[in-house]
A and B are shown apart, each in its own frame.
Chain A
Amino acid sequence: KAGVTQTPRYLIKTRGQQVTLSCSPISGHRSVSWYQQTPGQGLQFLFEYFSETQRNKGNFPGRFSGRQFSNSRSEMNVSTLELGDSALYLCASSQDRPGDTQYFGPGTRLTVL
């Protein structure tokens, strides 16, 4: 099976712009979670989608949003970018049992100038 794929891998934006990141989960996985990783804050949970519905949400401002499509692919959007949004954004997919493993993609490195 192909792993979790994320596009693009690298992105450079300027303050005030918006960005959309894409995640394709492993075939058959219906849960997709998004994380922000920075050196200072570590791994921070953004949100989780299951069957096109947001099931869990972390403590991020409304500028961060996401969605999931019927084929389980997911996108996250960040509007009005700030310098502090520079981070590695990781996507993970899993099946729908609590003991299931989350499989991570390689991440999208976003740099905001």
Chain B
Amino acid sequence: AQSVTQLGSHVSVSEGALVLLRCNYSSSVPPYLFWYVQYPNQGLQLLLKYTSAATLVKGINGFEAEFKKSETSFHLTKPSAHMSDAAEYFCAVRVNSNYQLIWGAGTKLIIKP
């Protein structure tokens, strides 16, 4: 069965510091991978997605993620955190044979001034 693991339910970084949110998946076939962001009291918004083109994917708001097949990872990074990045981030995976998205538990990103 497919699964998604996000390491750390809460991640705290200082403003201007590197943001690294970790996502590992299990899938026996090439997956489609997604990162979403959720601001308080809102729905989820797509940050970026991997669909088997370039392994380094650039998204909105300066975020990017790298697909590493050997590590079954799709970690999300941003070089310099901004206060407006404080939100909850979700990683999700979908394989071709099943249209359902499998979601990670989410990581709350806290930005310290």
Question: A: which residues have CB within 8 A of B?
Answer: 4, 31, 33, 42-43, 45, 48, 50, 55-56, 90, 92, 96, 98-99, 101-107, 109
Contact A104 B100 (CB under 8 A): no
- Chain B, Cβ-Cβ closest to A58: B100
Q: Roughly how many angstroms separate A101 CA and B98 CA in the complex, as a whole number?
A: 14
Interface residue tally on B, bucketed by range = 20 to 34
- Describe A's contact surface by its main secondary structure: strand
> Inside 8 A of A106's CB, which chain B residues have their CB?
42-43
Contact A103 B46 (CB under 8 A): yes
- List 6 A-B pairs, minimum CB-CB distance, nearest first: A104-B43, A99-B51, A104-B44, A56-B100, A99-B32, A106-B43
> Inside 8 A of A43's CB, which chain B residues have their CB?
90, 103, 106
Contact A98 B96 (CB under 8 A): yes
A11 → chain B closest CB, angstroms: 15
User: Of A45, A96, A99, A104, which one neighbours B49 at CB under 8 angstroms?
Assistant: A99
User: Of B41, B43, B94, B106, which one neighbours A42 at CB under 8 angstroms?
Assistant: B106
B101: Cβ under 8 A from any A Cβ:
yes
Q: Roughly how many angstroms separate A42 CA and B105 CA in the complex, as a whole number?
A: 6
Q: Roughly how many angstroms separate A96 CA and B94 CA in the complex, as a whole number?
A: 13
Which residues of chain B (6-56) have a CB below 8 Å from chain A? 32, 34, 36, 41-46, 49, 51-52
Contact B105 A45 (CB under 8 A): no
- Given A56-B100, A90-B44, A92-B44, output 19 extra A-B contacts at Cβ < 8 Å: A42-B105, A42-B106, A43-B90, A45-B101, A56-B99, A90-B43, A96-B99, A98-B32, A98-B94, A98-B96, A98-B99, A99-B32, A99-B51, A101-B46, A102-B46, A103-B46, A104-B45, A107-B42, A107-B43
> Inside 8 A of B99's CB, which chain A residues have their CB?
31, 48, 50, 55-56, 96, 98
A42 → chain B closest CB, angstroms: 5
Q: Roughly how many angstroms separate A98 CA and B99 CA in the complex, as a whole number?
A: 6
B57: Cβ under 8 A from any A Cβ:
no
